[in-house]
């Protein structure tokens, strides 16, 4: 009777994940993030997430009781990352113009490093009408921009703008390039929109455009 063939690589990977719960959880969240960025919550398949992770569906449901709970965990991790980034910037120590530039640089850097987040949030708005959108993330991002704009208006360095509308326009200017990259790629045939050269150009031109729009 022939001996069964064992996939040593897969077995080793599964054993490693099983023995390290935190690594397993993060691996599941990474795979879920990639799946949700393409399909959104509604069409996401736990089978696909399990295949990418190298664990069983039962293991996913051991850590997350439902697909919705896994989705919320992905969004919560995004907020935690954004919160840590904001705290490191120390924007309160800077004058309004410098604070806005620093924030824009960091926002664009984060978007370029993980463009999937913008796709997930766009699909959340379309599919779920914002049901799962972490309000604290919106308060953090838009609230920070609004605060900087208000300070700049009071200091006389920014135009008399409506801060909330302007904050929305600022985020849109930065994010659209990443969330709509599949629709925009024909503009640069043969080039990667997320390649180093185009990313640097998008970053600089977005900052220049926004600052020109808010300055007196």
Tens-digit pLDDT profile for residues 77-126: 999 988 888 889 999 999 999 999 999 999 999 999 999 999 999 999 99
What are the beta bridge partners of residue 158? 215
Mean pLDDT of the chain: 90
Q: Which residues contact 196 (CB under 8 A, 6 or more apart)?
A: none
193 CB-near residues (< 8 Å, 6+ apart): 177, 181, 184, 185, 199
Whether residue 179 has pLDDT greater than 50: yes
Distance CA 6, CA 15 (A): 13
Predicted confidence (pLDDT) at residue 12 exceeds the cutoff of 60 = no
Tell me the whole-structure pTM to 2 decimals. Answer: 0.85
Domains (ranges, CATH) in the chain? 1-65 (1.10.10.60), 77-214 (1.10.357.10)
> For residue 7, is pLDDT > 90?
no
pLDDT in tens, 49-68: 999 999 999 999 999 999 99
When pLDDT is cut at 50, 70 and 90, the band that residue 134 belongs to is: confident
Quote the pLDDT of residue 20.
86
pLDDT band at 138 (very low <50, low <70, confident <90, very high): confident
Distance CA 184, CA 196 (A): 17
Collapsed DSSP state (helix, strand, coil) of residue 106: helix
Write the burial class of residue 211 (CB in 10 Å: 0-12 exposed, 13-18 middle, 19+ buried). middle
159-186: buried (b, 16+ CB within 10 Å) or exposed (e) per residue? eebebeebbebbbebbbebbbebeeeee
């Amino acid at each position: 009777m022939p001996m069964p063939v064992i996939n040593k690589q897969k077995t080793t990977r599964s054993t490693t994940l099983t023995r390290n719960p935190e690594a397993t959880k993060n691996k599941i969240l990474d795979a879920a993030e990639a799946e949700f960025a393409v399909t959104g919550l509604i069409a996401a398949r736990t089978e696909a997430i399990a295949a990418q992770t190298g664990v069983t569906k039962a293991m996913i449901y051991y850590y997350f009781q439902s697909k919705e709970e896994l989705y919320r965990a992905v969004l919560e991790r995004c907020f935690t990352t954004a919160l840590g980034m904001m705290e490191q910037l120390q924007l309160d120590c800077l004058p309004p113009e410098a604070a806005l530039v620093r924030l824009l640089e960091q926002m664009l850097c984060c978007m370029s490093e993980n463009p999937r987040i913008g796709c997930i949030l766009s699909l959340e708005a379309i599919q779920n009408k914002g049901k799962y959108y972490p309000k604290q993330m919106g308060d953090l991002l838009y609230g920070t921009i609004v605060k900087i704009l208000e300070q700049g208006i009071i200091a006389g360095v920014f135009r008399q703008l409506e801060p909330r509308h302007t904050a929305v326009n600022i985020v849109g200017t930065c994010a659209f390039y990443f969330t709509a990259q599949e629709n925009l790629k024909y503009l640069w045939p043969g080039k990667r929109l997320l390649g180093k050269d185009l990313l640097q150009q998008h970053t600089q031109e977005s900052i220049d455009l926004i600052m020109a729009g808010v300055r007196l």
